[in-house]
Amino acid sequence: MEGFIDHALIYQILEETKAVTDEAIEAVLSKTFNRETLSYRDVAVLLQAKKPAHIERIYKRASEIKSEIYGNRVVMFAPLYVSNFCINNCSYCGYKRNNQFTRKKLTKAEIQEEVRILEKMGHKRIALEAGEDPVNCDIDYITDTIKTIYETVSEKSNIRRINVNIAATTVENYQKLKASEIGTYILFQETYEKSNYEKLHPHCPKGDYLYHLTAFDRAMQGGIDDVGAGVLFGFSDHRFEVLALMMHNKHLEDTFGVGFHTISVPRIKPAEGVDLSDYAHILDDETFKKIVAILRLAVPFTGIILSTRESEATRNELIHHGVTQLSAGSCTGVGGYKANELGNDVQQFAISDDRPTIDVIKGLIRDGFIPSFCTSCYRMGRTGDRFMKLAKTGEIQHVCQPNAMMTLKEYAIDYGDEELQTMADAFIASQLTHVKTDKTRNIIIKGLEDLSNGKRDIFL
């Protein structure tokens, strides 16, 4: 047992579920029809599936669940890297301390500049990213940055939700993040396999497996309700990682009454000073897709986040199988959004989908998805178990659907070209016909009119 991740139990379950039968797969899938919680063993059965027919069944069920719970909405965001100072030596990361380049953190004016560029792209929700450095990038720098971002009101709008992805820290620091009104606190475990974890993080604070693993406990003790987990796939057996994610989630549910708000599914990408051939578990596309679909079935109410590390084609496919949030127009360098930025900047890792945000939005609409710029839940106090209760009863639909349509309309008016405006109007009109009650439809129609008349930031 390593903390609450029972390594021996995971290996035992994987051993016992090796032979997958049609009956075993169907028995697990049948549980998903009445939203029964899947056991570790159930999840393992799905993870062990190899036959194309079994995998097709998993995809089909995952797509159905995705559509039943989330409809056709996809939440949009972009990362904002504010500091690449880092005292860690994560073997896979371009920001590792052993990489020699001129480090920087953004000044207040530079943060405002980045925020204005993000705002011009139409973003309302960002993921704030920074390396770990208690001297050059302490918690006060992070909370000051959050304040600056919220206060930067550009020509048309402002950033309305900031999720934060910074290193594991103390309860006191999490209290400060909470007081800064962050959305979700995001931290990837990278790998749950302890010996691999330690090899990947040599001689640095992040190498303390248990301290990293228990970060969400401290975050929740510090008052943060929404936490976002992730594994950086490529380091250990993916089946181990998914079962460990389930154990982590259960630990939080048992201890704090609520599990992960989101799960991110990054795959290791090329980066400065990183040799991908060092990693034994690089995932092929098919296995990756299977993981996303299984997560959708295992934790149906937890958002799944996919970044621009993945290609346009993979992203387009995975939104059908379970992904609920996409980044767009991303840059993974500090100060990277600033137009014509020159100099010695190092990207944390390479991205694959480099389409401008507006092209991602048009692509989603063409494929029948509503890109949503909604940031309402945490502003309305729908966080933690309050959010989960609304999600589980399906009530959340009544706010998500209107918010998605209204924020898309706002995006189209403020940032769309003629093509997007026409597309968005026609698409929203068609989506209105799917709204279940007249009351909700009327609320949306009124909101759309108000937006056309110049009102902004309308949300339920």
Report which residue type is found at 97. Answer: R
| Nearer to ligand SAM (CB atom), residue 274 or residue 328 | 274
Comparing every residue's Cβ against ligand SAM, the nearest one is 349
Residue 268 or residue 370: which is nearer to ligand SAM going by CB? Answer: 268
167 belongs to the binding site for ligand SAM (CB under 6 A): yes
Q: Is 201 in the site for ligand SAM (CB under 6 A)?
A: no
Q: State yes or no: residue 331 binds ligand SAM (CB under 6 A).
A: no
| Cα separation, 180 vs 159, whole angstroms | 14
Binds ligand SAM by CB under 6 A, chosen from 17, 32, 165, 184? 165
Closer residue to ligand SAM (CB): 85 or 415:
85
- Select 71 or 205, whichever has its Cβ closest to ligand SAM: 205
Is 348 a binding residue for ligand SAM by CB under 6 A? The answer is: yes
Contact between residue 222 and residue 175 where contact means Cβ atoms under 8 Å apart: yes
Q: Is residue 336 close enough to count as binding ligand SAM by CB under 6 A?
A: no
SS3 73: strand
Torsion of CA 375, 381, 382, 385, to 10 degrees: 140
CA distance 444 to 433: 11
Where do the H-state alpha helices sit in 71-193?
108-120, 139-151, 171-179
Q: Which is nearer to ligand SAM, 66 or 269 (CB)?
A: 269
Q: How far is the CB of 93 from ligand SAM (least distance, A)?
A: 4
- Our finding on whether 48 is near ligand SAM (CB under 6 A) is no
Q: Choose, by CB under 6 A, the member of 92, 235, 279, 373 that binds ligand SAM.
A: 92
For ligand SAM, which stretch binds (CB under 6 A), given 2-10, 264-272, 296-304, 437-445?
A: 264-272
Strand, helix or coil for residue 272 = coil
438's CB contacts (< 8 A; 6+ apart) are none
Region from 30-38, 127-135, 240-248, 404-412 binding ligand SAM, contact rule CB under 6 A: 127-135
User: Judged by CB under 6 A, which stretch of 133-141, 261-269, 358-366, 388-396 contacts ligand SAM?
Assistant: 261-269
The answer to the question of residue 346 lying near ligand SAM (CB under 6 A) is: no
Cβ atoms 206, 169 nearer than 8 A: no
Please, is 67 exposed, middle or buried when counting C-beta atoms within 10 Å of its C-beta (0-12, 13-18, 19+)?
Answer: exposed
Amino acid at 142: I
Which amino acid type is present at position 344? N
| Residue selected from 268, 399, 405, 420 as contacting ligand SAM according to rule CB under 6 A | 268
Which residue in this structure is represented by tokens 């009454």? Answer: 257
Query: 52 near 35, Cβ under 8 Å?
Result: no
Binding residues for ligand SAM, how many (CB under 6 A)? 21
In 269-417 the beta strands, taken as DSSP E runs, fall at: 303-306, 325-327, 370-372
Using CB under 6 A, pick the residue from 54, 73, 104, 269 that binds ligand SAM: 269
CA atoms of 131 and 134, how far apart (whole Å): 10
Please pick, from the candidates 25, 149, 271, 351, the single residue that binds ligand SAM as defined by CB under 6 A.
271
Cβ distance to ligand SAM smaller for residue 249 or 372: 249
**Cα distance between residue 117 and residue 120, in whole Å:** 5
Residue 349 interacts with ligand SAM (CB under 6 A)?
yes
In 3-state terms the chain splits into helix, strand, coil percentages (rounded to 5) of 50, 10, 40
The distance in angstroms from the start CA to the end CA of the chain is 44
Q: Per rule CB under 6 A, is residue 131 in the interface with ligand SAM?
A: yes
Whichever of 82 and 377 has its CB closer to ligand SAM, that residue is 82
Query: Is 351 among the residues that bind ligand SAM (CB under 6 A)?
Result: no
Binding site for ligand SAM (CB under 6 A): 92-93, 129, 131-132, 165-167, 187-188, 190, 206, 232, 266, 268-269, 271, 274, 309, 348-349
